[in-house]
Structure 1
Amino acid sequence: MNRGRARGLRIGMTDAEQALWYRLRNRQLDGCKFRRQHEVDRYVVDFVCAERMLVVELDGGQHLEQQDYDPARTRYLQAKGYRVLRFWNNDVLTNIESVLEVVTEGLASPGPSPQPSPQRGEGSKHVPSE
């Protein structure tokens, strides 16, 4: 169902997605395999490490208009056992080391934790609440 859409999203990745993918691919982060623009049930997620049940989502300005959709999507993924981490595109482009630090912490932490979409003006580091 989403396979063609996922393929199209891989081709049209944003600059932030490309920058993060460059650092996640080939098991570079904690030896974990990530997939990009990958189907998880009815959704296509930006990045997923299936073995650690971790989803990493990058949010651009369009996510301000999706304030009902993103939390519902996150709750669905969490109900399936995934932890969901969200970052602004700008955070990846300006402070990728901090983003990678949070992702590494997420890989080491068991179980899902709630994380709403970042709000306008929040800081660069989005740590999931426990």
Structure 2
Amino acid sequence: MSSGNVGRLPLMNVVKFKGVPILQQLHLEERLLRTSPQNWCIVNDGTNEPTIVMGISGKPAELLEIGSVLQDKIQVVKRFTGGGTVIVYHGTVFLSFICNKNVVPTVQPYPRPIMS
């Protein structure tokens, strides 16, 4: 922050969606993370299609019942970040924060301290 912003809270852009497919949301998050210096809060109230979301290092053969996934025609996507495997559906509320590291210098960019 510049000296002109001392004492001010950083601005946060808020984007609200309802029923946006998680893959579309993940594409938006990656684009914002890579191209925008601004702070973002993305809220997505549910997704219209049930989807299995895996972290970048997840191995489908170890984490999925592949026969059931194929039979039920469930979409599987890998996000560009780590994290566990989750199933999302219409009742899932997504909340993502993308923040400029200079605005929140004391926050680590990974969840380990939060999970402790």
TM superposition score normalised by structure 1: 0.27
Higher strand share: 2
TM superposition score normalised by structure 2: 0.29
The structure with the largest alpha-carbon Rg is 2
Higher helix share: 1
Give the structure, 1 or 2, with the largest relative contact order (CA under 8 Å, sep 6 or more). Answer: 2
